[in-house]
Amino acid sequence: MRLARRVLRPWVLAHGLVVLAAGCGGSALSSQPAVDVAGVASSTEATWVRVAAARRAPLSALYVTSATLRPERSATVTARTRGVVRELLVEEGDRVEAGQPLVRLEDDEQQIERRRAATVRAQEEIELQRAQQLRAQRALSENELDTARREFDDACHRLEVAELALQRTTIRAPFAGRVLRRHLDAGAMVADGTAVLDLAAVEPLEADLTVPERHVARLAVGQGVRLSVDATGDVVAARIARVAPSVDAASGTVRVTVSVQAPGLALRPGAFVRAAVVTETRPEALVVPRAALLAQGPRWFLFRRAGDRVERLEVEVGLEEGDLVEVRSGLSDGDEVVVAGAAALSHGVRVDVID
């Protein structure tokens, strides 16, 4: 019994000290990191982070809108005379040059009319030469000579009309482009004004953008625009071709026409595109990756590496382009900012950097 008391007394004493320490909030058993007088975390464990350096780079403010590509020139090619389609020389999708034959009509009737007109003209030319000889011999009056001249001129005009009718039996391209649609087949009857083909000049293509009036003062003809083609994901360069002189009163926007030439891409009229118009450019903006920024209401923060610890800084942001954001205050060129792991940090925490 006496031995049991000797064993229990040290154990009770130790147990009481532990309870006392817990009740007094002793730090020896606390699971929270210690904080120094300045409020900086003093935990010995480091947090793994990834950093990137703030740097100077050109940055642009973009106005993004959508549009549809259209040809610079387009027309419905029509017949200029009556007849039956004898031969179609092109198909949809074919490229053609200005003046290239597209469709040939039956021309038998026009050939006959031309030969008849040519015969009449030849006869009237002979009559005019005879009249001139007789007038030179004073065997013909001046009025009779004038009549011969008028009849010869009329014969010449009739021949020109017959030749024009014959030429119109071959329908030609009014400009270089691509055949978008064929309206008829061989054997179809056409008259003056019948639609035959739809033709479009697809190089360059154009797109009409609607830009708010407040941005138009920064735009100029020849300025670059980036177009993203939804169907293919391609990004192509375009140029501002025209800026409308008036403002749409209903929407407060101005029509800006851009021109795009991309010979290596199969761009088609009617394709949907997204356009990014540069409205402002800073050639030496201080930029950081977007992942470095943390939002708290309307305010922005980031963590800057200082030795083996980080500092929480409030910054003012500016332009944004792609993955880069301009920082206008609170940071210097070359400062290292946390771009991965920032959500788990607080001011003064020790960090280790992942390569």
pLDDT digits (tens, 9 = 90+) for 241-273: 999 999 999 999 999 999 988 766 677 888 899
Are residues 205 and 164 both part of a single domain? no
Residue 126, domain CATH: 1.10.287
User: What are the pLDDT digits (tens) for 13-36?
Assistant: 334 433 333 344 443 333 344 444
49 touches 351 (CB < 8 A): yes
Strands (E), 79-162: 83-88, 95-96, 101-105
Listed range (1-15, 52-66, 210-224, 308-322) with the worst mean pLDDT: 1-15
* Mean pLDDT of the residues in the chain: 84
What pairs with residue 76 in β-bridges? 198
Are residues 243 and 291 both part of a single domain? no
Q: What is the pLDDT of residue 164?
A: 94
Query: What is the CB neighbour count within 10 angstroms for residue 232?
Result: 12
The verdict on residue 180 lying in a domain is no
User: What are the pLDDT digits (tens) for 94-126?
Assistant: 999 999 999 999 999 999 999 999 999 999 999
Which of the listed residues 225, 259, 282 is the one where a domain comes to its end?
282
Q: What is the mean pLDDT of residues 326-332?
A: 87
**Between 201 and 156, where is the model more confident?**
156
The verdict on residue 128 lying in a domain is yes
pLDDT band at 233 (very low <50, low <70, confident <90, very high): confident
pLDDT band at 158 (very low <50, low <70, confident <90, very high): very high
Give the list of residues 6+ apart from residue 334 with CB closer than 8 angstroms, or none: 53, 54, 55
Q: What is the pLDDT of residue 8?
A: 38
The verdict on residue 192 lying in a domain is no
Structure tokens at 163: 């030749």
CA-atom Rg of the chain in angstroms: 43
Q: Which residue has the tokens 């953008």?
A: 209
- Look up the domain containing 145 and give its range: 107-168
